Amino acid sequence: MSHHTLASSRIAVLGYGSQGRAHALNLRDSGLDVVVGLRPNGPTWHKAKADGFTVAEPAEAVKGADLVAVLTPDMVQPALYKEAIEPNLKPGAALLFAHGFNVHFGQITPRADIDVILVAPKGPGALVRSEYERGRGVPCIWAVHQDVSGHAEAKTKGYADGIGGNRAMLIQTDFKEETETDLFGEQAVLCGGASELVTKGFETLVEAGYQPEIAYYEVMHELKLIVDLFYEGGLAKMLQFVSETAQYGDYVSGPRIVDAGTKARMKGVLSDIQDGTFAKNWIAEYQAGLPNYKRLKQADLEHPIEVVGAKLRARMPWLQPNTPPAAVAPLKKAG
């Protein structure tokens, strides 16, 4: 099924962050009719206008739409649904999400007379856009949660096609699986796990008397080399490109760090996601004005690895491609 399913449809994209912008541009370049729904005169309003889109307030954008793509942050979606979408979306239209959080955890209960679907590209907005422009695409996962029209699957695949996903790969899922695996990945491995692994490694070296600058390079900076190898060719490519010494150290010491106890605690993290504990806590935190979130974030930003990191990154001209050489300050020798 190609995006011709949506050929005569009007698509409203709500939100114009990196994903929203990429989706809107790709859909338009696929020949589809796109309107962008945003708060008047916000920063993204002018950006979408400058990109040549018809821009309207969310409620107006929803009124004429056959498909509404909700691409705003999770925590603002319930109010957006109540105020702009629920009263204005026509029966038989489709409500599309890129993450199942609010539907799965009951923060949004979609009307019974609309299709509820999901398309999530497995890449950041910039890549979704650049791959599309190259004539390629980023793999997407997709799901149908509620099919009222009888065409929900075709609409879902049509949207995925419109953003370039079917040029790469489409994998079917459901809202529960997408939501729970996404949250687990962020918490246990990608954001939570990796940042704690790096900071604890840094602290271990600094507490043992090594220079913070050296510690930074060894545990944070060089992680990129490994992650890129994983991304390009999995464990096999990583093992092919690191030294034999590094390989042997991996085999004997890796399981001492991330052991059965770590895995048991990962299962605890997964349980909290599955039974709604994490969602309940996050929603309460957001509604309270984010006091813990702000405090914990500040602690991360003030960690010694950030202090030394800022100083070292200023000496890496490839991170600031437009900085003339003279603008880079000289580095004083560590105390």
Q: Confirm whether residue 186 is marked as ligand binding.
A: yes
Options 3, 4, 23, 99, the catalytic residue: 99
Q: Which residues pair with 97 in a beta bridge?
A: 70, 118
Supply the angle between the helices 277-287 and 291-301 in degrees, to the nearest 10: 90
Q: Confirm whether residue 17 is marked as ligand binding.
A: yes
Rounded Cα distance, 121 and 129, in Å: 11
Are 95 and 144 within 8 A, CB to CB?
no
Handedness of CA 94, 95, 97, 100 (dihedral sign): negative
Q: Confirm whether residue 33 is marked as ligand binding.
A: no
Total count of residues recorded for the chain? 335
Among residues 163, 179, 146, which one has the least CA distance to residue 74? 179
Q: Confirm whether residue 306 is marked as ligand binding.
A: no
92: left (phi over 0), alpha (psi -120 to 50) or beta: left
Q: Confirm whether residue 5 is marked as ligand binding.
A: no
**Catalytic: 221?**
no
Which residues, 6 or more positions from 59, have their beta carbon under 8 angstroms from its beta carbon? Answer: 37, 83, 84, 87, 88
Q: Confirm whether residue 271 is marked as ligand binding.
A: no
Are 25 and 130 within 8 A, CB to CB?
no
- For 45-74, b where at least 16 C-beta lie within 10 A, e where not — what string? beebeeeebebbebeebbbebbbbbbbbeb
Q: What tokens does 46 get? A: 């002018």
- DSSP states of 199-242 as a string? HHHHHHHHHTT--HHHHHIIIIITHHHHHHHHHHHHHHHHHHHS
Q: Confirm whether residue 60 is marked as ligand binding.
A: no
Residue type, 21: R
Q: Confirm whether residue 39 is marked as ligand binding.
A: yes
CA atoms within 13 A on the CB side of 62: 24
Q: Confirm whether residue 133 is marked as ligand binding.
A: no
Q: Confirm whether residue 125 is marked as ligand binding.
A: yes
Give the angle subtended at the CA of 309 by the CAs of 306 and 311, to the nearest 5°.
Answer: 115
Q: Confirm whether residue 179 is marked as ligand binding.
A: no
Q: Confirm whether residue 19 is marked as ligand binding.
A: yes
Q: Which residues are annotated as a binding site for substrate?
A: 243
Q: Which residues are annotated as a binding site?
A: 16-19, 39, 44, 125, 182, 186, 218, 222, 243
Active site positions, annotated: 99
Q: Which residues are annotated as a binding site for Mg(2+)?
A: 182, 186, 218, 222
Q: Which residues are annotated as a binding site for NADP(+)?
A: 16-19, 39, 44, 125
